[in-house]
A and B are shown apart, each in its own frame.
Chain A
Amino acid sequence: MPVGGKKQSPVAVELEEAVVVSKISGREWDVSGAWNRMFESRVLTDYSYSKGLGKIAQLDGGESLEYCYGCGKCVPVCPVDLVSEYGPRKIHRKVQTGVDLFSSDELWKCTTCGNCLRVCPKGVNMIEIMPAVREVAVGDGKVPDELQGIFEKTFRYGNALGENPRRRHAWTKGASVPIRVLSSDPTPADVLFYVEDYWSYHPRGQQAAQAFSRILTRLGVDFAILGAEEKTVGDSQRLAGEKGLFDALVEDVTATLGKYEFQRIVTPDPHAFNALVKEYPKRGFTYDVLHYTQLLSPQIEKMNFVNSIDKKVTFHDPCYLGRHNGEYDAPRKLLKAIPGIDLVEMGRCKENSYCCGGGGGGMWLDGFNSNHLSERLSERRVREAATTGAEILAVCCPYEVSRFEDAAKSTGNEHLRVVDIAELLDEALGGVETV
């Protein structure tokens, strides 16, 4: 068992006492407690196909669950299985044997991290299955309360935190550099900095947004933000099953983007990045989109580092930047460029990176899922980071600072600082003093 913590023990379905009766001789064997104790046989035909796998298979996106042939490759790579019982194979089996996924708590545990799809020979695609089944559940009102609140806030305010939309760019005040808001100065910009929710409103995210703005200013990038007009791109809400909300957001976001001229969109949020690269084009809206690490990494030469950060640093790959969109190098290049940093990798990194638990709506389901997991995925990940001996856990997804900082506290790893790469870069470039 890698890295501390424990798996939640499975619920035993076996009979405590079992007697097997021969149909021929009538002889009875008491097999209670035997290592090879026999269980009541499960006859698959006892269960309804049309209410189980069949019902999922006919959903748009739900087709692939029944492709599973039980090889089991997906289970050991599933981050949720490490703290519970999960993975497509187990879900497939449960549905096959009568569990109604539409109303089961199991439906909300998958973070759509994509690690199972990477190894599945049959292409069982949880990234499509989960949103499809969840959409039906949401339509039937079977949605966890925490998540319902997030959907309502997102619909009402355009951000998942339920914050005042007019205060979306309040963070710019502390940036120490001028930041152009397109609504007040709509001249064309090279880079549209799509700040997204957590960099806009979360106090630690705001610090990263300020740091990133200082870096852009130092590099002489012509950038601007949407300010109060910005709404979340909505990818995690989509994956959590609120497709209607996502469609509404696509309409609003693209209408706003249509008002302004810019060359490319740069966002710190891998979830926004994912949607803008993969989902918006499906609806006819294509933009040139970069994750902020992709904008910065080719410009390392131009960076004038004045401080050295003499620390051992480990890096957590965001699922939606790495596994989902294949970008593993840009963040590492940036970290390696910072003078003094000793970058150490965790056992699970790059393609096999562990999930922070925040994807696919998991960000908003910690309370709901706590009944079913032995610990949070973020806690498991922080333990892993701590065993590398790192003093800093570097991240480049706005969900992660808050998740990992909480986890560092709850696992007694307060010494591990959780810092966004943008903040590390800014510190090495001299912080507020050099702009």
Chain B
Amino acid sequence: MKVRRIEKGGALKIVVGMRQLADLVEELEVADSGVDIDRDFVKFVSNEWDEAALEEALLIKEAVGGEVVVIALDEPDVDQTLYSAIAKGADRAVKIVGVEEGWTPTRLRAQLLSKWLKSEGDWDAFLTGVQAADDLDGQLAGLIGATLGVPHAAVVSKAEPEGSSLRITQELGGGTLSESVATGKVVLGIQAGRQAPRYAPITRIRQAMSTSTIETFDAQEIDLGPGPKVRKIYPPQSKGQATMLDGDPVEVAEKIVELIRAKGLVR
């Protein structure tokens, strides 16, 4: 199913890329393979930065009209994330199917999403979370921008419509903000939304489940070429180096100073 571009002054078609992550309420365990977490008993939830991206997209749509499409790979519990997005106001949801199970490297994810974005063609902006807990490369938006030859901005904290363009605010570190205007297609890595992600009432999620369908898109064969490979995953090892310092505050302070001196941190 294809939905026609809504013809309206300034209306934007925004695509939001979402991904599923292991829920940290679970105790994660390393799978027998040693290069992934054990996914069998883990619950999956959507990446919170992607939720911020969705919120930003919905705010843009509310301001100027247009369309919000959410897209994700077929990962565990992804349907719930996509239906919640529809309940919040997204118009369409697309799932890329046929991807190998298990952890998807960000480079592969970027290529898969780019294929769909290319085939869809008529979108104005692609928004996704600037990072994710399981994202080794941390470059999803950047890679997509590079693959498609579309300008990219990272760590975006605001994307406000201005005519048919987007005024973008980025965090540059050290409290510095930068503002720029993106004319034409743009890919954004969202750090935060202008407001906290809205609530999707359960009634509406259930309605979405019964009245809307998730479109599917077949994953295509992708040759990633050379790149990093995960060799081992392991929980952080505790080294048991905590030392408790006893005594009254003055004594403790003296001991701390001594330690800092001994380690050569100050002279």
Binding site for B on A (CB under 8 A): 138-139, 141, 143, 145, 148, 151-152, 155-157, 162-164, 166, 242-245, 247-248
Q: Is B136 at the interface (CB under 8 A from chain A)?
A: no
For this complex, 14 residue pairs linking A to B, each with C-beta atoms less than 8 Å apart, are A138-B201, A141-B198, A141-B201, A156-B23, A156-B45, A164-B27, A166-B26, A242-B201, A242-B202, A244-B203, A245-B202, A247-B203, A247-B206, A248-B206
CB of A143 to closest CB in B, whole Å: 5
Neighbour of A139 across the interface among B23, B27, B204, CB < 8 A: B204
Q: Are B199 and A141 within 8 A (Cβ)?
A: yes
Nearest 8 A/B pairs, CB to CB = A244-B203, A244-B202, A245-B202, A148-B199, A141-B198, A164-B25, A139-B201, A141-B199
Q: Knowing A164-B25, A164-B26, A166-B41 touch, does A248 contact B198 (C-beta < 8 A)?
A: no
A245–B202 Cα distance when bound, in Å, is: 5
* Closest residue on chain B to residue A244 by CB atoms: B203
Interface residues of B in 242-262 (CB under 8 A from A): none
A166–B26 Cα distance when bound, in Å, is: 9
A243–B25 Cα distance when bound, in Å, is: 26
A136–B201 Cα distance when bound, in Å, is: 10
Contacts of A164 in B (CB 8 A): 25-27
Binding site for A on B (CB under 8 A): 23, 25-27, 41, 43, 45, 196, 198-199, 201-206
Contacts of A248 in B (CB 8 A): 202, 206
Q: Knowing A163-B25, A164-B26 touch, does A155 contact B202 (C-beta < 8 A)?
A: yes
Neighbour of B206 across the interface among A138, A139, A156, A244, CB < 8 A: A244
* Closest residue on chain B to residue A243 by CB atoms: B203
Contacts of B27 in A (CB 8 A): 164
Contacts of B41 in A (CB 8 A): 166
CB of A146 to closest CB in B, whole Å: 12
A155–B43 Cα distance when bound, in Å, is: 13
A151–B202 Cα distance when bound, in Å, is: 9
Contacts of A145 in B (CB 8 A): 196
Other A-B pairs beyond A164-B26, A244-B202, 4, CB < 8 Å: A143-B199, A151-B199, A152-B199, A244-B204
Q: Are A138 and B25 within 8 A (Cβ)?
A: no
CB of B84 to closest CB in A, whole Å: 9
Q: Knowing A157-B25, A163-B25, A164-B26 touch, does A244 contact B201 (C-beta < 8 A)?
A: yes
Contacts of A243 in B (CB 8 A): 203
CB of B55 to closest CB in A, whole Å: 11
A135–B74 Cα distance when bound, in Å, is: 33
* Closest residue on chain A to residue B88 by CB atoms: A141
CB of B62 to closest CB in A, whole Å: 12
* Closest residue on chain A to residue B77 by CB atoms: A156
A164–B201 Cα distance when bound, in Å, is: 22
A164–B202 Cα distance when bound, in Å, is: 20
* Closest residue on chain A to residue B89 by CB atoms: A141
Contacts of B198 in A (CB 8 A): 141
Contacts of B205 in A (CB 8 A): 155, 244
Contacts of A141 in B (CB 8 A): 198-199, 201
CB of A248 to closest CB in B, whole Å: 6
A111–B196 Cα distance when bound, in Å, is: 26
A330–B81 Cα distance when bound, in Å, is: 46
Contacts of B43 in A (CB 8 A): 156
The listed residue with most B CB atoms (<10 A of its CB), out of A138, A145, A156, A244, is A244
A141–B23 Cα distance when bound, in Å, is: 25
A340–B41 Cα distance when bound, in Å, is: 50
Neighbour of B203 across the interface among A139, A143, A152, A162, CB < 8 A: A139
CB of A359 to closest CB in B, whole Å: 21
Contacts of B26 in A (CB 8 A): 164, 166
Contacts of B25 in A (CB 8 A): 157, 162-164
Contacts of B202 in A (CB 8 A): 151, 155, 242, 244-245, 247-248
A151–B199 Cα distance when bound, in Å, is: 9
CB of B137 to closest CB in A, whole Å: 28
A157–B80 Cα distance when bound, in Å, is: 13
A156–B206 Cα distance when bound, in Å, is: 13
A139–B205 Cα distance when bound, in Å, is: 11
